[in-house]
Structure 1
Amino acid sequence: MVAQLIARARSGNWLRTDHLVESKAIWSQANGISPDWLEGVRLANVSVQLATSIWSIELLHDIDVLSNMFTDNWRLDYESPIARGIHEVCVARLKTWRYEL
């Protein structure tokens, strides 16, 4: 989902489909899960929904603010209050996403 925010801050657009698929694959690997194709599509959809709602926070329009949420090896830095806040929103949303068809 953070990839969506970065794409929007850089280009003014959300991720293209191919980049969204790649981002989902990276997220899945980092989290040790292997969603089937339907779950993958639904995860991508949730990503867009979350990014759209979080985008209303004007601070997140700044690419420098978004960049500061990462460690030197481009992993999210959970010491960052912004990264932790986004993570909490995502966790709460993912707890309900499986029940929506």
Structure 2
Amino acid sequence: MTASQGSGVPPAGGVGEEARAELLCYLVVAELVARARTGEWLRTDHLVESGRIWCKANGAHLDWQERIPLGQMAPGLAPQVMETFGLVMERSLVPLFIDGWMLDYASPVVCGIHEVCAARLSRRYAVLPVQNPS
């Protein structure tokens, strides 16, 4: 279940803010899982593949150019999230998931990580100039 399911928020099927926040949240958690399992952060190719997996599983249509900034943000956010939420051990990450690799947005921790990601995205996109359609 994604944050948009059951929350009155439109599903992540495009490139809206919610879809980007959900993908960033997923990538951050993927970084944490890699760190807990191997002691290392995700390699770039695994981060890219994680983004593809999330998009396919959620029916989201974010092309690679839209996923790149999110993939660049995830490694920077992961240590902050790890410290803030105490997600160091693999067993602390298991409750974040339902149905395999789907994040459980009923979990307060997942919701907290999502809030961190959404806040980071709002800061990133707040500085972009608005373009007039002409």
Superposition TM-score, scaled by structure 1 size: 0.82
1:33 to 57, 61, 83: 61
- Distance across 2 between alignment mates of 1:83 and 1:91: 12
Q: How many equivalent residue pairs?
A: 99
Per-residue Cα deviation, 1:8-29 (whole angstroms, up to 9, x for no partner): 1111110011101101222334
Instruction: Give the 5 Å matches for 1:1-101.
Output: 1-29=28-56, 30=58, 32-37=60-65, 39-57=66-84, 59-98=86-125, 99=127
SS of equivalent residue, structure 1 residue 73: coil
Change (3 A) 1:34 1:67: same
Tell me how far 1:31 sits from its aligned partner.
6.2
Structure 1 stretch 25-34 or stretch 47-56: which is displaced more?
25-34
Tell me how far 1:58 sits from its aligned partner.
6.5
- Distance across 1 between alignment mates of 2:107 and 2:124: 26
Tell me how far 1:41 sits from its aligned partner.
2.3
Q: Is the 8 A contact 1:4 1:14 kept in 2?
A: yes
Tell me how far 1:87 sits from its aligned partner.
0.9
Per-residue Cα deviation, 1:18-47 (whole angstroms, up to 9, x for no partner): 10110122233426132343x332211111
Structure 1 stretch 56-65 or stretch 84-93: which is displaced more?
56-65
Of all paired residues, the percent bearing the same amino acid is 43
Task: Please list every run of 5 or more consecutive structure 1 residues that lacks an aligned counterpart in the other structure.
Answer: none
Tell me how far 1:51 sits from its aligned partner.
0.6
Bigger radius of gyration, 1 or 2?
2
- Distance across 1 between alignment mates of 2:98 and 2:71: 24
- Distance across 2 between alignment mates of 1:8 and 1:48: 11
Superposition TM-score, scaled by structure 2 size: 0.64
* Larger RCO (CA under 8 A, 6+ residues apart): 2
